[in-house]
Chain A
Amino acid sequence: GENVEQHPSTLSVQEGDSAVIKCTYSDSASNYFPWYKQELGKGPQLIIDIRSNVGEKKDQRIAVTLNKTAKHFSLHITETQPEDSAVYFCAINTGFQKLVFGTGTRLLVSP
């Protein structure tokens, strides 16, 4: 079945630094790649997404890059703030319109 690998599993940065999380996938038919942020005790919140006809998308401090040939996509957070601390999940869509999630990255931003 579809598989999504996500790295790193934990990431600690200082406030103001950049953070990068990478996901690789195996299903070449996937064409939608969202990123979610999950805070403790809450549901995942969609923070940015990208479709396969675009290589990069940016929204303020958050950007996503996609390399469809290499089957990987990355989340970039610049000028990190303590409130960015959370668990981040990447996901891909499948031929059945379902999402397959990565294993998650726990991001800790220290003041």
Chain B
Amino acid sequence: GAVVSQHPSRVICKSGTSVKIECRSLDFQATTMFWYRQFPKQSLMLMATSNEGSKATYEQGVEKDKFLINHASLTLSTLTVTSAHPEDSSFYICSAREGVQGGGTGQPQHFGDGTRLSIL
């Protein structure tokens, strides 16, 4: 159980393109999903928290107009990297948390397999 599917797994595109990444919880409802960025040989850096039916909360230093997040259903969140540039190249990973929004401390987060984004 607790499977999170992330698509696509890899994207290579030209500078200036917008890229959409999908994150789905397959066998549980996730009112809260998270988007992370990971540079090579480094830890996960939280970009934003995505809550179903409301605006995402972005971490300090993350441009909300650059990284658009939509969480329209209990099983789907999307991250759109707008007008991507080479410096946006990275490994983007989503996670989905079990349990109700804002409730229950210590609910497990389950991760997708990531999207490797390469901007030429």
The answer to whether A31 and B44 touch (CB under 8 A), given A43-B111, A44-B93, A97-B32, is no
Write the A40-78 contact mask toward B (1 if CB under 8 angstroms, else 0). Answer: 011111100101000000000000000000000000000
Residues of A in contact with B, size category? 20 to 34
B-side interface residues, number (CB < 8 Å): 25
Q: Is the interface of B mostly helix, strand, loop or mixed?
A: strand
Alpha-carbon separation in the docked complex, A74 to B99 (Å): 26
In the bound complex, how far is the Cα of B2 from the Cα of A101, in angstroms? 20
CA distance A104 to B42 in the complex (A): 7
Considering the chains assembled together, what is the distance between the CA atoms of A102 and B114 in angstroms?
A: 19
B43 with A104: CB separation less than 8 A: yes
Nearest chain A CB to B43 CB, angstrom units: 5
**Complexed CA–CA distance, A103 and B114 (Å):** 18
B60 CB to nearest chain A CB (Å): 9
Chain A contact residues, CB within 8 Å of chain B = 31-32, 34, 36, 41-46, 49, 51, 89, 93, 96-99, 101-104
